[in-house]
Amino acid sequence: MKTTRTNRFQIRPMAAIAALALTMACGAARAEISDNVVRIGVLTDMSGAYSDLAGPGAVTAAKMAVEDFIAKQKPGFKVELVSADHQNKGDIASNKAREWFDRDQVDVVTELVTSSTALAVMKVAKEKNRIALITGAGSSRITNEDCNDVSVHWAYDTYATGNGTGRAVVKQGGKTWYFLTADYAFGQSLEKDTTAVILANGGKVLGSVRHPFPSTDLSSYLLKAQASGAEVIGLANAGADTINSVKQAAEFGITPKQTLAGLLMFITDINSLGLKATQGMYLTEAFYWDMNPETRAWSKRFYERQKKMPTMVQAGLYSAITHYLEAVKAINSDDTQKVMAQMKKVPVNDFFAKNGKIRNDGLMEHDMFLMQVKKPADSHYPWDYYNVRATIPGAEAFEPLSQSRCPLIKK
């Protein structure tokens, strides 16, 4: 088995400690924060199907979050960041998280693209009483059947993306659907959540086919979808699988006779496929770099380092780490339960989310956005890819607590 690589670097507060008051503050922090160091582990896909939407860009976003926090907040404690490649495998992810918690005294593990890795690490985090901040995984199981009190689901979930895109496509006339689904927790949740939206809005699902994750050859699965005669082929997959689905559907002449609905697409997917192949497609995002001055300012800083505009996973990771570190500083403690209480107490207000809130099921509820991909002629500069068609308030975008299957929610 390929060994998992871990990268470590340390960022120290830059504030001088000559002043007596600051020295006292540092002493107080040391009394509450174990060994006076807050350690954050970024566990992501560095080279596989999801590396473009998460991966190295997620590590960059995490570094930016730590650097900005230190520069602005001047904490009296050190912050260390480690990163590793989980290879989209739950066993590798859980073993690395356990090693970090036991040997390296990591306080929080974050990112966790791929739902199987997130669900595996959540269990270890609960066992070790550490925090999991999930920005990359999508399965709605994370805050339902598998929820716990030390995990937060930050950027999006399959309910929100299926809800936004599925409803829009049905309203545009796409009444009959067939799903092409990645065969693991994420794809299954995305198909299930989108099916509920389709049926609620008067549509019909003719069937589905599940493909292995990851897949390079999707021809046999796409031909089954074509044979169904469905008006819409719902792509309940992501990353490289979605890119391959769109490319191969065009090669087989499936499009434009049948419409593809990308139920979880990222700006990096659009960039890879090009506007000619994706124009007119609807998708639901939590973040777009070109929405307002705040998103543009942060995203251009990210671009300077990564040479790509950020995805909602990468922007959400910056937001999650910042909120976590601010909570630690506010209470002068890295105690898991105290930090979780502080994070839930304080709203999330940054370039990623306005008036976001962490619910008792662990979901960070915030607005989502229905996007439509621009025609090539309407794109006027690099990465000018979306028209924002609707803002979906958080309370409507995400599954209501009244329908929650999380054991923490008392009915």
Residue 309: CATH number of its domain = 3.40.50.2300
With respect to residue 224, please indicate whether it lies within any of the assigned structural domains. Answer: yes
Which residue shows structure tokens 């209501």? Answer: 400
SS3 percent helix, strand, coil of the chain, rounded to 5, is 45, 20, 35
Tokens of 46: 């560095």
Q: Does residue 345 belong to any structural domain of this protein?
A: yes
Q: Per the omega criterion (within 30 degrees of 0), is the bond before 214 cis?
A: yes
Residue 254 lies in a domain: yes
pLDDT at position 6 over 70:
no
Query: Phi, psi (5° rounding) for residue 14?
Result: -95, -5
State pLDDT tens for residues 294-314: 999 999 999 999 999 999 999
Amino acid letter at 54?
A: A
Note whether 30 and 146 are same-domain residues: yes
Place of tokens 């995805």: 311
Give the number of other Cβ atoms within 10 Å of residue 367's Cβ: 17
Residue 24's pLDDT is what?
A: 31
Q: What is the pLDDT of residue 410?
A: 80
DSSP classification of residue 400: P
Pair (78, 148) in one structural domain: yes
14 and 132 together in one domain: yes
Domain carrying residue 309: 6-156+290-365
Q: Is residue 408 part of a domain?
A: no
Query: Is residue 65's pLDDT more than 70?
Result: yes
Number of structural domains found in the chain: 2
Q: For the whole model, what pTM was predicted?
A: 0.91
Same domain, 274 and 386: yes
Q: Taking a C-beta distance cutoff of 8 angstroms, is the pair 354, 366 a contact? A: yes
**How far is C-alpha 333 from the geometric centre of its chain's CA atoms?**
26
Same domain membership, residue 297 and residue 284? no
In this structure, which amino acid lies at residue 164? G
Cα–Cα distance for residue pair 122/142, rounded to 1 Å: 9
320 neighbors 345 (Cβ within 8 angstroms)? no
